[in-house]
């Protein structure tokens, strides 16, 4: 694998671990705000992000290279509301999609076919993630400050299964 692609994949490992950290932070905040369902959803998402990071780590190792584990930035710790947390997630997922697309373009340019197969999985995954989080943003937007609606949504998202 070319060093340039390895460097970008390393950065993506870091971004996926950061994503796990961000969702973990949101899970903790939501638990403190008495939204156990949303907290569980964020926790499940955090675990999924760790799996994303590990998927790239394994790929790099299988290709006979070493991973550079870079420092992970501190995630946001406070959110104004469940809607704010999901809007933050949505914005972050759009950023990740952009980075995955750039990585895919790089793998095409560098004619790395194995990386293209790996990244194709991530391209599809981002479509799913944006759709799922985008829908939740809309639902929480509709709920507004209505306590009954928020409690119902908390129960609904808490039933998420990975």
Which 96-115 residues touch ligand FEO, going by CB under 6 A? 96
Q: How far is the CB of 68 from ligand FEO (least distance, A)?
A: 19
Q: Which of 24, 37, 52, 59 binds ligand FEO (CB under 6 A)?
A: 52
Give the gyration radius of the chain's Cα atoms. Answer: 17
Q: Which of 9, 16, 27, 86 binds ligand FEO (CB under 6 A)?
A: 16
The count of other CB atoms within 10 Å of the CB of residue 16 is: 23
* Under 8 Å between Cβ of 35 and 82: yes
- The span from the CA of 37 to the CA of 110, in Å, is 44
- Kindly state the tokens that stand for 97: 């999609």
User: Under the criterion CB under 6 A, does residue 24 sit at the interface with ligand FEO?
Assistant: no
Q: Which of 49, 87, 112, 154 binds ligand FEO (CB under 6 A)?
A: 49
Q: Which of 40, 112, 129, 154 binds ligand FEO (CB under 6 A)?
A: 129
* Under 8 Å between Cβ of 5 and 109: no
Q: Output 84 or 151, the one with its CB closest to ligand FEO.
A: 84
């Amino acid at each position: 694998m070319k060093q340039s692609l390895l460097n970008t994949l390393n950065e993506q490992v870091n971004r996926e671990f950061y994503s796990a950290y961000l969702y973990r932070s949101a899970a903790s905040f939501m638990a403190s705000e008495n939204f156990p369902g949303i907290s569980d959803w964020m926790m499940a998402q955090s675990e999924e992000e760790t799996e994303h990071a590990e998927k790239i780590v394994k790929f790099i190792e299988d290709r006979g290279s070493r991973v550079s584990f870079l420092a992970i930035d501190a995630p946001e710790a406070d959110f104004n509301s469940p809607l704010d947390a999901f809007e933050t997630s949505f914005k972050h997922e759009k950023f990740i999609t952009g980075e995955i697309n750039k990585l895919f373009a790089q793998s095409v340019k560098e004619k790395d076919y194995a990386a293209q197969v790996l990244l194709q999985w991530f391209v599809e995954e981002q479509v799913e993630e944006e759709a799922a989080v985008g829908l939740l943003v809309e639902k929480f937007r509709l709920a507004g400050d209505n306590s009954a609606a928020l409690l119902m949504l908390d129960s609904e998202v808490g039933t998420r299964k990975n």
